Structure 1
Amino acid sequence: MSILTILFLLLISTAAEAQRRSSNITLGSSITPTSNSSWLSPSGVFAFGFFPQHVNGYAVGIFLPDKTVVWTANRDTSPTIPNDTISLVLSPEGQLILRRRQGQDVDVINPSTAIASASMLDNGNFVLYDSNTRIIWQSFNHPTDTLLPGQRLLHKEQLFSSASETDHGIGIFRLKMQDDGNLVQYPFNVPDAAPYAYYATGTNGAGSNVSLNLDSDGLLYLLNGSLPLKNICDGGFPTQGYVNLMKLDVGGIFRIYSFSVGDLNLTRRWSSTYDLCHPKGFCGVNSFCILIDNVPECQCLPGFVSAHSGNNTAGCSRTFSMQGCPIVDGGLNYEMKTIENTEWEDNSYESLKMMISEKECSKACLDDCSCKAAFFKDGECTKQRLPLRFGRGSLRNSNMALVRVSTAIVPDMGGDSDHERIIKKEWRSHYLIAGIVLMFIGVLALSISLIITHKKRKDYKKISKDDGANFAEGISLQVFTFEHLFEATNGFKDELGRGASGTVFKGVLHNGQKMVAVKRLEKEFAQGEIEFQTELKTIGKMYHRNLVRLLGYCFDGDNKLLVFEYMSNGSLADILFNQEIHPNWEERMHIARDISRGVLYLHQECEMQIIHCDIKPQNILMGENWCAKISDFGLAKLLKQDQTNTYTEIRGTKGYVAPEWYQKQAITVKADVYSFGVMLLEIICCRKCVDYSRSEDEAILEEWVYDCYATGKIRSLVGDETVEGKKVERMVKIGIWCVQYDPSLRPTMKKVLLMLEGTVEIPIPPNPTSFLSSI
C-alpha cells in the first residue's frame, strides 16, 4: 500500500473521528427544563435539549448558544412540552422520552430499534446508535426549517417555516425538493402546482436524483446525483469562527445566516428575495400585503376588518352582512370599491373579454348576485367569489381589484325652489332638535351603562364557588357569568350550529375585539358538577394545533356553557358535501392527516386518554389555511390512567357509531377509529356515509367502497377527479381497515397516521363485515 493511500485513509479516519466527537449520552442520562437543560457538542457550539417556546413554555430540539433553533422535535403534533414535564430521559429501555409527573411519557424520537447511546456532534447532527454503534436515526435526515453544512434536502423532502419567532411548530410556508428536480416554495396547505408557487429554481425535468446542499462557506446549490446542477447562493462567507446555515424564516423567505461563535451574533448574508411581501399567503384571506418603510403590513379589503388583531394569517371578515342582491330591505345597496396595483389568486368563475372598461366591469359584478369581487386588467374582467387569497401590492402589476361593499341610500331632498328651501330649513331644525335630544339620551345611556358595567365587573370578580369560579384550579380557563355570556352572544341569537350535546352561538368578547363560539350544553347532557369539573380540567389543559381551543366556561345551576375559539371557515361538512367548492384531492388528504393527528393526541398524548365519541365532518372545524381542528367534546368519555375501556350508553351520530356500541361491548379508543374511518371514506368520495337518494348498492358508503375495492372499480369513487389510482387505493385500504366490525382488527390512530403519511405498508384489508359471519 502506497504512502499516499495510507495518508488518505488516515485523513478519512481522522475526519470521521472528529465528526463523532461528542459527549457520549448513555442510557439513563437525563436533563431538565430548568437546570442542566441540554447535552452539548464537544465544542459547545450545538446543544440538544430544552429551549424557550411561547412565553413560559419549552420545546425540545437543537440550537446554538444564542438559542437560534436549527431543529425541533414533534413539530407535527405539538412542540410545546406538557407543563408537568420533569425531564428528558434516555431511558434504560432504550427510549428517548419526556417524563411527566402524571400521565404517560411522551416520545421525542422513536426509532424502530432500541437506542443504546446518543451523541450531539460538532456539525450540529444529533445521532442515535444501536448496541452495535450503528446509526439508527440522525437529525440530518429529518430537517425541520434549517439546513446545516453537510446536510442535504433530498427529493420529496421539505422544510417548513416556524409558526412564529416564539413558536417553532409548523408555520405557513414550505420549501420542497420535488420529484422533477425543481426546488419550489409554496404556502403550507396547497397542492404542489405552479399557480401556488412563489419561488422555483426552474430545474424541473432534471429528475428525482436532485438534492439541495449547503457547504460550510454558505454555498447553496443543487446536485444531480454527484454532478453540479445549479448554484442558488455562491457563498464565500467566512468559516473560521463562524457557522453558516440556511433557514426558511417565519415570513416564508429562505436565507443564509452566519453565526459568530465568538460574540454569539447572527448575521444575515443572503436572501432568496428581498421583497418581504413576495411569499404567497403572508396575509390571510381577504387581505393583501404592502410594504411601508420596507416593513410588510396586511391591509383588509374595503368593507372588511381584521378577524384577529395581531395575527396576519387570520385574514379579514366583512363589516356588513350580505342579506340580498342587489337591493336589500331597509335601504341598503352595494357599490364597488377599487384597489389598484395588486396581485391575487385568480379563482374566477366567469371571464368577460370584450375590452370593457372598469366601470362596465363593476356593473357586471353588481348585476351578478354571485359576484363578490372582480379583477380588471387590460380590458378583461374576471368575476370572483370570496375569499380572495394571496393578495399583495405590486407596482409592476396594473391589475385592479374591485370589491362589492354596502352603502346606505341617502334620501333625495329635492331641488332649490323656495318651498323646498323652507322644507329643508324645517328638516334642519328638526334634525338639530333631534340631535340634541339624542345626545342627551346618549349621555344618559352611557352613564347608566358605565354604572352597570362597573357593577358587573365587581360582581364578576366576586363569583362564588357555587358559580364555578374556583371549579377548575390549575388551568388557565376564564370563568364567565351567565349574564356575561348572554350579553356576548346577544341573547343567544346568532346560532352557528347544533350538535348532539348542545347549541353553539357566535359571541364577541373584549370590547368586540375577539370572536368566540359559545356552546350551551343541553340539560340532558349537562352532567353533574363533579364530572363537569373533571372534563374541564382535562379539556382545559389540552393544546394541539388540530383541536379547537377551550377558552373558558360558565357553571351556573342548570346553565353550563363552554367558550371556544371561533373558527371562521365553518365545518368540514360545509365544504366536503358541496360539489362546487369541495377541496381537491391533496387538500382533502391534508385535512385527513390533520384530523388523525388531533385524534392521536386525544388517544395517546393527553394527561387522560379521551374517547371523543362523535368524530364526524360536522365536528371538524376549518381554521385558516384549511387547518382542520376537532371540536365538540360534549360527548367525550374520559378514561383514567389505568383504564383502557369503558361501558356507557350509546353516544355519537348514526352512521359514524361503531358496532360495539350497539352490541353493548366495552368501548375503547377503537370506537373513534371506526368513526374516523367512515369520515375518511367520506373525504375520499366527497359524499355522506348514508345517502338513500342513491341506488341501493351505493346508499351505504362503506359497503359501496368495499364492493368497488373488491371488484377493481376504485376509480368510480372519485368520479371525474384527476387522481392517481394508487393514491385512491391506498386511502381506501386505510378506510376499510378503520371500519372493521371487529375492534381488534382496527389499527391504532398512530398506525393510521403512519399509513396516511405513507411511511408504512398497508396490507390487504378483509371485508369489514366478515367478523359477523364468524359469530
Structure 2
Amino acid sequence: MQSGSSFVFSSKSIHYNRISFFNIKMQRLHFLLIHSIFLFFLFASSVVTAQQRQSNISLGTSLRPTTNSSWPSISKLYAFGFYPRGNGYAVGIFLAGIPEKTVVWTANRDDPPLPSNTTLLLSTEGKLVLQSAQGQGTDIANQNFVSASSASMLDSGNFVLYNSSGGIIWQSFDYPTDTILPTQRLQAGNELFPSVSETDPSTGKFRLKMQRDGNLVQYPKNTDDTAPYAYYASGTDGQGDNVTLNLGVDGHLYLLNTSGVNIKNITKGYPTGGVLYLMRVDWDGIFRLYSHNLRPNGKWSVLWESSKNKCAPPGLCGVNSYCVLNDQKPDCKCLPGFASVNQSNQTSGCERDFIAESCSNGHGPVKFKIQPLENTLWEDVSYFDLSETTKEDCQQACLADCNCEAALFKSDDSTCRMQRLPLRFGRRDLGSGSKTFAFIKVGNASSDSNNVPGEEKKYLGTSLIITLSCVFGASTFVVLATCGIFIHRYQAWSYKRIPGNGNFRLCEDVAPISFTFAEIEKLTDGFKEEIGRGSSGIVYKGTMMRCNKFVAVKKLDKALAEGEREFLTEIKVIGRTHHKNLVCLLGYSFDGPNKVLVYEYMSNGSLANLLFTPEKQFNWIERIGIARDIARGILYLHDECQTQIIHCDIKPHNVLMDESGCTKIADFGLAKLLKPDQTNTFTSIRGTRGYVAPEWHQNLPITVKADVYSFGVVLLEIICCRRCMDQNFPDDQVVLEDWVYQCFDGGELRQLVGNEEIDLKQLERMVKVALWCIVDEPSLRPSMKKVLLMLEGTVDIPIPPSPTSFLTCI
C-alpha cells in the first residue's frame, strides 16, 4: 500500500510539474513577444527620429558667420557652415567634436574670404546659396537644376541635399577637395588637390588622381598625366576602367575594381574603438593617413604617408629653386645668381639678381659665366640637345648661345640639354647613381660687385678712372687706324659674327643674324635654286659659307614685302620660338623693299611630298610619331611661348622633315600674335582652303581652336595617307572627313588603311581625336594639350559628334 500510494503521489507530482513547466514556458514566450514588439516600435521610432534629426535642415534655414554659424551632425562630431579663414570666413565641413577644428571640405575654395555679413541659405526655391549683403547669390552645390526639399549633415561627415522623395540629389562626398573620410570614395577620373598652405585652403601645387586605367598617381598641378611627372604611383594600371580609392572606418585604405575585388591594400586596418581616421593630401604634396583618438586630450597621429622624402614632390620650392633635405625637413635653395622672390615664403621661387642682356642687344653691360650645380634634377624642356658631348663642351655651348640660360648634363648619356628660364621642379638627387649637372648662366658684373668691400670698391673706382684716362689717348689712335679695316671687312664680318670652329650648332642658335640683300644674293648664288613656294613667298636653297651648311632662304612676295608690319611680325614670332618641332630662324634681311628670311634647311622636304607619294609613305608607327610631333609644336605655340601664337596655316606643306626624320612646323608668315590677356582676335581669312576652320567664314572670333581644326584635318590625312579632297575616289569618299565619319559610325575603320598592319584600337583613338578636332563649334574642340594627351593614350576619349559641315580643299 505504501508503495502503491507512493507511486500515485509521485505520478500526480509529475503531472503538476508538467503543467507548471508549460505555464512558465508560455509566460516566457508571451514576455519575449511583448518585448520584441516593444523593441520593434522603439527601433522604428528611433529610425524615424534619426531621419527627422538628420533631415532637420528645412527650406528657408540660414546661417551667419558670427551668430548661428553651422549645422551640426547628430553626434555633433561634424558640422557644415562657416569657419574662420584669413581676415574673413569660408564655408565647409569641419570636425566640431574635437579641440582642433579640422577642415575636411571647403566650398568654392579658390574664392576670396567671405565678409561677416554673408548669409548661407537653403532657400525656399531649394538652392544652397551664399548671399552677400547686396543680395547677390553664389551657388554652393551643383544640383543639376533639381530643387532640394531638405538637407542633412550626416555623422559620416557627408553633407547631403534631398529631393521631395528623400533621394539624394547632391552630396559633398562626390566632390572631395583634399580629404577622404571613412566610407568615402575617390571615383575613377577624379582628383584631390591639396591646399596652398595650412591656413589657406585654396588649390595648391599638387594633385592625386585616380586614373581611369586603375592607377592612383600623384603629379604636380598643370602637368600631363605622364610618367616623367609622376612622383607616386600605386602600380595598379591595367586593373580596370573604374577603380576607386576607398577608406574604411578602420583606416584601411585600398583600391577596388568594378567587381568589388580589392586589387591593392595601401594601408592595413587599425583598431576602431573611439578612433577617427581620415586621409588627406597635405600642402607639401604628400598624402597621409591620420588617426585621432576621440578621448579627451587626443591628438592627430600620422599612420602612413606616400613618401618619407619631403623633397619628392616636384615643384615644392617654386621656379628657379631646388629642394634639399636638412634633418629630413625640406629647404629651398635658389640657383646661383638668383634671389628669393619672397623672403617670408621660401616656396615662392627665385628670380635673377641681375638684369641680363637681350639676344637682340648682344653687347650689354653684363658678361656671363657658368656656375655648375651638381646632383640636382629638373624638368627637361630643352629647345636643343647636343649628344655625345662633354661637361666642358656643354658649358661652352651654353655660354656661346645667347638663348641658353641653363644647360642640363647627365654623365650616363653625355647629352647636353639647352634650357630657357624658368627652371621647374628642382630637387637634390644623391641616390640615382649617375652624375647630373645643371650649368647656370650668371652675370659676372653683379656677382663680382656684390663681393667687393666698400674701401676696395672706392680704390677700384679711382684706379679705373686713372686707367681709362691713360688708355683713352692710345685707344684713339687705334680706333682711327682700325676704322678703315672694319669698313673694308664689313661684308665678311656678317659671316663671322658667330665665334667658333665652324660648329653649325652655335651658328644657328645665336639670335637671328641681320644680312644685307647683297649677302643674301651671294648666299643663294643669285636666287638660283628654287626649292619651294610658301604661302607668302618663294623659297631658295642657299649656303652659309662659314658653317658650310645649307639654308632655306624665303624671299617674300612683293605684296607682302610692301607691308613692313607683316615682315616684323614674322621676325618676332620665329625669332622667339625655340622648340625641336619648329623650324629655326637663322637670319633675315630688311633692305628696303627686299625682305628675306633665312631658315635652317630641311633636307627631306615637306610632309605633303612624303605623305602623298606612295613610294615614300611612312609606316603606321612613324605616322603616329609625326602626328604627336606636330601636336607638340602647336602646343608650344599656343601655351608655352611668351606671347601666344596662332599659326593660322597648319597643313602638310608647312610640316617639314630634316635629315634625321625630325618633324618641324614651318612658315609662320601668317601667324597672328596675341597679347597675354587676349584669347581671340578678329582678322581676315588666312590659311589654305580645306584646312581653314568654319569660324573664318562666319566672321567669328578666331582663337587657337582654329589651329586645332586644321590639325584635325591633317591628322585625318596622316591616318589615311591621302588628301582631304581627292576627285580620284568614289563620290562618297571624295571628301575625306565625310568618308572617315561614315566608316567610324558604321564600325568599318579598317577601310581607311586598307591592308596595312595596324593596331585597330590605336586607329580608333586617332580617328576619334581627329573627329573631335574638326567639329564646327570651336568651344567643343579640345585644346592642343588635351589633343596630345588623347594621342598618347593617357586620357579617355568620348564618342565624337558628327561634324556638321565640311569644307573642300584645293
TM-score by length of 2: 0.54
Moved more, 154-163 or 366-375: 366-375
Out of 379, 389, 394, the position equivalent to 1:345 is 379
The structure with more helix, counted as a fraction of residues: 2
- Correspondence 1:133-282 to 2 at 5 A: 133-224=166-257, 225-236=259-270, 238-261=271-294, 262-263=296-297, 265-282=299-316
SS of aligned partner of 1:679: coil
Match for residue 438 of structure 2 among 391, 395, 401:
401
Do 1:19 and 1:121's aligned partners in 2 also have CA atoms closer than 8 Å? no
Q: CA deviation at 1:140?
A: 1.4
Partner amino acid, structure 1, of 2:136: Q
2:513 — aligned with what?
none
How far is the alpha carbon of 1:206 from its aligned partner? 1.0
Counterpart for residue 75 of structure 2: 43
The residue that corresponds to 2:399 in the other structure is: 366
Q: Is this contact kept in 2: 1:57–1:81, CA < 8 A?
A: yes
Q: Are the equivalent residues in 2 in contact too, given 1:180–1:208 (CA < 8 A)?
A: yes
Q: Does 2:120 align with 1:88?
A: yes
1:684 counterpart (688, 699, 708):
708
Change (3 A) 1:765 1:360: closer
Contact 2:383 2:580 in 1 (8 A): no
Alpha-carbon distance, 1:169 to partner? 2.2
- C-alpha contact (below 8 Å) 2:776/2:804 kept by paired residues: no
The CA distance in 2 between the partners of 1:258 and 1:169, in whole Å, is 24
TM-score computed with the length of structure 1 as normaliser: 0.56
- 1:348–1:121 CA distance, 2 compared to 1 (3 A): same
One-letter code aligned to 2:64: T
Residues 72 and 144 of structure 1 are in contact (CA less than 8 Å); yes or no, is this contact kept in structure 2? yes
Instruction: Summarize the Cα distance change of 1:374–1:758 in structure 2 as closer, same or farther, 3 Å threshold.
Output: closer
CA RMSD of aligned residues (A): 5.0
| CA distance in structure 2 between the partners assigned to 1:319 and 1:403 by the alignment | 13
Q: Which amino acid aligns with 1:56?
A: N
Within 2, Cα distance between the matches of 1:69 and 1:656? Answer: 53
| Separation (CA, whole Å) in 2 of partners of 1:763 and 1:722 | 14
Partner of 1:290: 324
Query: How far is the alpha carbon of 1:304 from its aligned partner?
Result: 2.1
CA distance in 2, matches of 1:575, 1:708: 33
1:275 Cα shift?
1.1
Once residues 336 and 63 of structure 2 are traced to their aligned partners in structure 1, the CA distance between those partners, rounded to angstroms, is: 53
Look up the match of 2:92: 61
**Which of 411, 414, 427 is the aligned partner of 1:392?**
427
- Give the secondary structure class of the aligned counterpart of 1:363: helix
Query: Deviation at 1:334?
Result: 2.0
Residue type matched to 2:768 in 1? K
Aligned twin of 2:334: 300
Check 1:107–1:765 CA distance in 2 against 1; reply closer, same or farther (3 A cut). farther
State the Cα distance separating 1:618 from its structure 2 match. Answer: 3.6
Name the CA shift for 1:147/1:324 in 2 (closer, same or farther; >3 Å): closer
SS in 1 for 2:702: helix
Question: Unmatched 5+ residue regions in structure 1?
Answer: 412-423, 436-569, 596-615, 622-629, 632-651, 658-673, 688-696, 699-706, 716-720, 740-756, 770-775
After superposition, the Cα gap between the structure-2 partners of 1:430 and 1:286, relative to the gap in structure 1 and judged at 3 Å, is closer
Partner residue of 1:726? Answer: 768
Structure 1 residues 102 and 722: CA distance shift in structure 2, 3 A = farther
Kindly indicate whether residue 70 of structure 2 is the aligned counterpart of residue 28 of structure 1.
no
| Structure 1 residues 732 and 376, CA gap change in structure 2 (3 angstroms) | same
Q: Distance in 2 between matches of 1:758 and 1:74?
A: 27
Structure 2 equivalent of residue 754 of structure 1: none
Measured in 2, the distance between the counterparts of 1:265 and 1:309 equals 32
- Point out the more displaced range, 273-282 or 371-380: 371-380
With 24-33 and 362-371 compared, the bigger mean Cα shift is at 362-371
Query: What secondary structure sits across from 1:366 in the alignment?
Result: helix
Inter-partner Cα distance in structure 1 for 2:703 and 2:381: 28
Q: After superposition, what is the alpha-carbon deviation per residue over 1:538-568, rounded to whole angstroms, capped at 9, x for unaligned?
A: xxxxxxxxxxxxxxxxxxxxxxxxxxxxxxx
Question: Unaligned 5+ residue runs, structure 2?
Answer: 1-32, 449-455, 468-571, 584-630, 645-671, 686-697, 712-723, 726-734, 745-762, 782-794
Identity %: 41
Query: Quick one: distance in 2 between partners of 1:309 and 1:344?
Result: 23
Secondary structure of 1:297's counterpart equals strand
Supply the distance in 2 between the matched residues of 1:713 and 1:299 (Cα, whole angstroms).
54
Q: CA separation of 1:104/1:349 partners in 2, compared to 1, >3 Å: closer, same or farther?
A: same
Give the Cα separation in 2 of the matches to 1:684 and 1:180.
26
Larger Rg, first or second structure (1 or 2): 2
Rounded to whole Å, the distance in 1 between the matches of 2:580 and 2:386 is 26
C-alpha deviations, 1:420-467, integer Å up to 9, x for none? xxxx9x9979449999xxxxxxxxxxxxxxxxxxxxxxxxxxxxxxxx
CA distance in structure 2 between the aligned counterparts of 1:579 and 1:103, rounded to whole angstroms: 53
Give the SS at the match of 1:233: coil
Q: Supply the distance in 2 between the matched residues of 1:575 and 1:163 (Cα, whole angstroms).
A: 33
Q: Which amino acid aligns with 1:726?
A: K
**2:151 maps to 1:118:** yes
Structure 2 CA distance, aligned partners of 1:106 and 1:359? 60
Note the C-alpha offset of 1:733: 4.2
Find the aligned partners of 2:137 and 2:81 in 1 and give their Cα distance.
16
Per the TM alignment, residue 407 of structure 1 is displaced from its structure 2 partner at its CA by 1.5
1:152–1:213: 8 Å Cα contact kept in structure 2?
yes
**How far does residue 230 in structure 1 lie from its aligned partner after superposition?**
1.4
- Which residue type is aligned with residue 218 of structure 2? Q
